[in-house]
Every structure is written in structure tokens, then in C-alpha cells.
Amino acid sequence: MRSSSLDLVYHHYQRVDPERPLHDERLEATLDERHHDLGHGVDVVLALEEWERFELTFALAALRAGDAFTDRPGTWSYGGFASVRFAF
């Protein structure tokens, strides 16, 4: 599997200026303007690119909310993604 990869990615999200709103914010939570910490996240990404015209990508993500989330600090959120690419 020379053209494939498995990646583990860690993120630490912080607000530079807590008083400014986030751009394109689609949160269903309230943010505390006194805290910078948005949370910590981990992504696992598997990309299978062994074939000339066919690629598969799978990703799983987890985020632990930081102190900036007033109604749910410390709670976990999860998500996933799958992609198929076929070139012809």
C-alpha cells in the first residue's frame, strides 16, 4: 500500500479574541467571551489511493468542548466523513 495513508491528527482550538464572533458560526451552543479555549480534537483519516482512477477516503473526528462553551464544557462531539473519487 505505497500510495495510501493513515493519519492521526491532533488539534487544540483557541479563540484569538474571545469578544469577536466566529466567522460562519453554526454552533448550537453559547460561547463565554471570557474564555479562549474552544477545545481539543482528534481526527483519524484513511486515504486509499492504490488505483489509478479510484480513491477512497474515510475520516472520523472527535472534539472535546473547552471552557468557552458555557452550556457544555468537557462534552464530546463526534463526526465522520466518507469520500469516493472515480476519474474517467
pLDDT tens across 19-74, in order? 666 666 666 777 777 788 889 999 999 999 888 889 999 999 999 999 888 878 88
| Cβ count within 10 A of residue 22 | 11
pLDDT at 15 over 80: yes
pTM of the full structure: 0.74
Domain count, the chain: 1
Local structure of 44: helix, strand or coil: strand
Q: Residue 5 in contact with residue 47, Cβ under 8 Å?
A: yes
pLDDT for residue 1: 75
Domain span at residue 69 reads 5-86
